[in-house]
Structure 1
Amino acid sequence: MKIATFNVNNVNKHLPNLLAWLKSSKPDIACLQELKASQSEFPEVALRKAGYSAAWVGQRAWNGVAILARKKSDIIVTRRRLPGDPNDDQSRYLEAAVSGVLVACVYAPNGNPQPGPKFDYKLAWLKRLNTHTAKLMKSGAPAVVAGDFNVVPTPSDIYPTKSWNKDALVQPQARAAFAKLLKNGWADALREAYPDEPMYTFWSYWRNRFDRDAGLRIDHLLLSPTLRQRLVSAGVDRAIRGKPDPSDHAPAWIVLK
């Protein structure tokens, strides 16, 4: 089973690249973030023609998440919102059972500028994620939490620079929240497979950063203990970031036996 995560940065604008990647990479399950599309604007028909069923929570502007399943496998949605704040109306979490695996698709808040209310929301959201995923872990279900966490876990997950030092993605509080997920038992799949390589998943559009490989690793796939034992391989499909009119992210993926 191949499971991938991809921040598409506008699912309709970048639909050709998304469809080309699905055709070449053939993930069995794909988590998408930053749809930038309302519920009715999601390209369900095009994805169905490409061989994928879908569940999604759309939202205009910056948010929206989706889970795709190859060969039109059933997607049994279990949650459409991250619990813990009934007033949070941002579309950042979708959870479903697909082919025997519980899949959580996450799009964590960016948190900039920091300090400030957006950073406070980011930390509160990550705290809620820790609380909820601890319950998933306790359930014993084979689970993967995949998506754009908007956290650079360690200095080795970003190119040598000081230009990001004040950014919300690298702040100690955000890194501590991510580290707590690992302490709770979740395995960082890309780091399991590549302990010493950067494995960047994001390159800003600014200052020719993709060509310079000035990247960050902010897209992650976290595995429950049962899935960690089944991890065969992992990687990042960097080539799609070099296509014309790309997302600023590249898909990350895992293969489970």
Structure 2
Amino acid sequence: MKLATWNINSLTVRLPQVLDWLAANPVDVLALQELKMSDDKFPHAALMEAGYQSVCFGQKTYNGVALLSKTPATDIVRNIPGFSDDMARVISANFDPGIRVVGAYFPNGQEPGSDKFDYKLAWIKGLRDWLRTELVAHPHLVLMGDFNITFDDADVWDPEGMRDQIHCTDEERYELNALVALGLHDAH
């Protein structure tokens, strides 16, 4: 099974590129983040013409996630069950042959010490709590998306200059590694 993920930063703007990319790279499932559109504006028909079914969880202007697939999605869940959130950041579904795909757009966090940073850390903890139970029910689970966190200094062009800056804090890296410690593996 071929899986891919892409933060497209507006599906309205990048739909032609997505369609071209899918034609050149026929993946089984593509997770999209940062759709920046409401569900009623989602281009299901254009994607269906390209051979892809789609499920989405949109939000006007910001956020939004989708899963595009060659086969139907089942057991679709939008957002993180048990975590109260107004943002459209997570969509998950099952695909044959028994793969659970979770597409996620992690919060940016703005800057360490801010309310948005606190929200980011709480959001990741909520995701981890939910994924712990999802992994029991779905041992073949893939978490894909835009994590907005670097695993370590090898992911940063200027580790010293970025130290303790957003995406590079010890707190964010701890939470990301705690997700992996649930039994996930970094595909990179």
The alignment's TM-score, normalised by the length of structure 2, stands at: 0.94
CA distance in 1, matches of 2:72, 2:81: 24
Where structure 2 has 5 or more consecutive residues not aligned to the other structure, the ranges are: none
Matches within 5 A, 1:101-180: 101-180=99-178
Indicate the SS of the match to 1:78: strand
How big is the shift at 1:136?
Answer: 1.8
How big is the shift at 1:82?
Answer: 0.6
Indicate the SS of the match to 1:56: strand
How big is the shift at 1:162?
Answer: 4.1
Contact 2:153/2:159, CA 8 A, preserved across alignment = no
* Residue identity matched to 2:154: S
CA distance in 2, matches of 1:84, 1:158: 33
CA distance in 2, matches of 1:49, 1:164: 44
Matches within 5 A, 1:14-163: 14-70=14-70, 73-86=71-84, 88-99=85-96, 100-163=98-161
CA distance in 1, matches of 2:180, 2:78: 24
Contact 1:55/1:77, CA 8 A, preserved across alignment = no
* Residue identity matched to 1:95: S
**Offset from partner CA, 1:158-211 (integer Å, 9 cap, x none):** 213544335321111010001111222110011xxxxxxxxxxxxxxxxxxxxx
**Offset from partner CA, 1:100-148 (integer Å, 9 cap, x none):** 2111111110000321110000000000111111112223531101111
* Residue identity matched to 2:33: Q
**Offset from partner CA, 1:18-56 (integer Å, 9 cap, x none):** 111111111110100000011111111111111100000
Change (3 A) 1:10 1:163: farther
Alignment coverage as a number of residue pairs: 187
* Corresponding residue of 1:248: none
CA RMSD of aligned residues (A): 1.4
* Residue identity matched to 1:16: P
* Residue identity matched to 1:14: R
CA distance in 2, matches of 1:171, 1:134: 24
CA distance in 2, matches of 1:78, 1:38: 18
Where structure 1 has 5 or more consecutive residues not aligned to the other structure, the ranges are: 191-257
Indicate the SS of the match to 1:13: helix
How big is the shift at 1:78?
Answer: 2.9
Share of identical aligned residues, percent?
35
Contact 1:126/1:177, CA 8 A, preserved across alignment = yes
How big is the shift at 1:17?
Answer: 1.1
Q: Which protein has greater RCO, CA pairs closer than 8 Å, 6+ apart?
A: 1
The alignment's TM-score, normalised by the length of structure 1, stands at: 0.70
